[in-house]
Structures are given as C-alpha cells and as structure tokens.
Amino acid sequence: MKRVLLWLMLLLSGLATRVNAQDLQKMQQRQKAAIQSAFRKKQVTPKEYYKLQEEQEVIRKAMERAKADDYLSPKEQNEIYGKLQRAEKRLRKYKTNREVY
C-alpha cells in the first residue's frame, strides 16, 4: 500500500512539473505579445523595445537549456520564473516612464 501511494505521489509531482513548464512558456509568450503591443502603441521607445527583446531572447535560451534534459528542476523553474518577473517589472516601468515620443 505504501509503495502504491509513493508511486502515485511521484506520478502526480511529475505532472505538476510539466504544467509549470508549460505555464512558464505561456507566460513568456504573453510577455512577448505585450512587448510588441506596447511598441506598436508607442508606449516604449525603440531602444527600450530592443532591450526587452534581448531580455526575452535570454529567457528563451534559459528555457531551452533547462529543457535540454527533458526535466525542469525546481531550481531551474525558479530561475526562469525570476527572469520572467524581472522582465514583467521592466516592461511595466518602461510603459509608465512618462516619456513623450
């Protein structure tokens, strides 16, 4: 009985990891779309736009490195999530910096 519970818990934890990896990817795609939208609406300067694009490229490469072994460890998830949070904060800052274009 204990073995069955152990296997069930391991299986569920593996599924939770997959969902989180997909969530991180969706979060990055939403950020990319928000950056494009902000640039089209002239809420960010071209220089800020390119900085944000470079940051998204760094995040994409980090995700590829983390997924190379088909296992996204909690440390890797936290690292990528932190990068996404910093990018979100930077985009928000750039959009509200009161510059006139």
Note whether residue 100 is domain-resident: no
Note whether residue 66 is domain-resident: yes
The structural domain count of the chain equals 1
| pLDDT the model gives residue 70 | 86
Note whether residue 81 is domain-resident: yes
Report the alpha-carbon distance of residue 45 to residue 30 in Å, rounded.
20
Position 11 confidence tier, pLDDT thresholds 50, 70, 90: low
Note whether residue 101 is domain-resident: no
Position 22 confidence tier, pLDDT thresholds 50, 70, 90: confident
Q: What is the pLDDT of residues 50-96, one digit of tens each?
A: 999 999 999 999 999 998 988 888 999 999 999 999 999 999 999 88
Range of the domain at 74: 2-95
